[in-house]
Structure formats: structure tokens, C-alpha cells
Amino acid sequence: MKLVNHLQEIGVKRGDVILVHSSFKSLGIKDPEQIILALIEAIGVSGTLLMPALSYLQKPSEVHDTNRTPTCIGYLSEYFRCRTGTQRSIHPTHSVCGVGRQAHEWLDDHIQDHTPCGPHSPFNKLLHQHGKILMVGCGLQPNTSMHAIEEYIQPPYLYNPPIIYTITDSQGKTYNKEYIPHSFMGGRAVQRYDRVEGILDEGALTVGQVGMAKTYVIQAERLFQEALNRMRSDPYYFVELIPEAG
């Protein structure tokens, strides 16, 4: 109940669609089911809970299996992926998992995209449908929805040449599909998504605590407006460039 109260205090409401990034250790609890149940209770039966299930560390030569390929972004996201009833969108590097009343609406058409965070991805949809982004104990840096905003601007650092991935969907069908992956200049463009704290006011960014974890709640539509405007004037605003050696 304490976790639910914390979530309500920082602005999570019934009916919300929330995308949760997290550091499980920071919560100060032992059972990951506690925070999952608290999130589900806070948004109620009319809400939808989403978590990234990124697998970008998997080699393109390996088959991406929607049912089996693990996430590479932490314990809670992997626990959620494996939890009974969780659905997963189809994408070889930037899939999303979800439960709730609108989970199918948010996840099913991700298969249509050819980039990590294209128009059918939950990361992009969140920016236009009153979604909220919760950063639980992980700071503001690992905010994948920022990639969706970058795809509107397409700064020079963003993309690599297309790659053919092999995917096995949730029904066991295997096929090949071409995707355009993100590049970030081979690691020379270092992400600085923490800079959103300087462009969002209190109405768009709330800071509080869930369990023992410092937690940020971001109003996704406001993030889209402010970050897009900033990148239109400075496409490199949310990265730092590391000079090439030599």
C-alpha cells in the first residue's frame, strides 16, 4: 500500500498509460511483484502499464524471438517480460511490454515500423496520447521516448545503414525484415537526456519518491513539445560529441 501511495502522490492516476524505466535495486524492496502490483493498482483496471523490453545488444545475425529473447536493460523489465499475462510488441531492438485494458492498442502495430521508435511504436504514441513516463531510481538519462523525438528531427548522428533482422513472432512464425538502426556515431554522440530537466517546468516534470527510489514523472506530450522545439534550433542539444582520436 505504501508504494501505491507514493505513486499517487507523484501524480499517477487511475486510467493513466504509463511507461516505466527503472532501477529495481534503488526501490529498496526484495520482491519485484510488489512494485508491479502497486503500479497496476495505481492506474486501475482502465489503465495500461508499459515497460521497455530493449534487446539492442543482441547481434543482428541472431534470431530475435519475441517470446524468449531477454531484455538488456535491467532486472525489473526482464521480470515484467516473463510475467504471466504480459504482452510484447514485435521489434528486434526496441520492443515494449505491457499489460492493461489498452495493451493491444499500444503494442500490436509496432510491427509496422522500420526504425526503433517510429510512428507505430509505444514510445512515439506516448507523446501524443496523454502518456506519462516514470523514471524510477534511474535518473533521467535512459529515456527511450527521446529517441522517438529524435526521429522527427533526424539529426546527423541518429541512423546507421539498414540491417536485415530475423524475427520469430509470438505465434512462432519466422521471417526477415529490414530495419534502420540508431547509430549515435558509433558512441561518439553521447546521450544527454538528463538535460530535459532544464527545459520542463513543474507541470511537465514532477520529482518524488517511490519506495527508496528518487522518481521523475514526465508528461510525455509536454516533453515532445519542449524537446522538439529545442532540437529544431539545436539538433545536437541532447548529445555531447566526443572528438575522434588522432
Assess contact for 179 and 165: CB atoms under 8 A. Answer: yes
pTM of the predicted structure, to 2 decimals: 0.96
pLDDT of residue 246: 57
Structural domains counted in the chain:
1
Alpha-carbon 161 to chain mean position:
23
Residue bearing cell 487511475 = 14
Report if residue 204 sits inside a domain: yes
pLDDT of residue 1: 67
- Segments of 117-162 assigned E as strands: 132-136
Alpha-carbon 127 to chain mean position:
12
Report if residue 123 sits inside a domain: yes
**Could you tell me the pLDDT band of residue 245, with boundaries at 50, 70 and 90?**
low
Report if residue 170 sits inside a domain: no
In this prediction, residues 73-90 reach a mean pLDDT of: 97
pLDDT of residue 244: 75
Q: Three-state DSSP class for 139?
A: coil
Report if residue 181 sits inside a domain: no
Report if residue 213 sits inside a domain: yes
The helix (H) or strand (E) run that includes residue 190 is strand 189-191
Contacts of 246 (CB under 8 A, 6+ apart): none
Q: CB 167: neighbour CB atoms within 10 A?
A: 20
Report if residue 246 sits inside a domain: no
Assess contact for 121 and 144: CB atoms under 8 A. Answer: no
Host domain of residue 209: 2-62+70-151+193-235
Report if residue 240 sits inside a domain: no
Report if residue 172 sits inside a domain: no
pLDDT over 90 (residue 37): yes
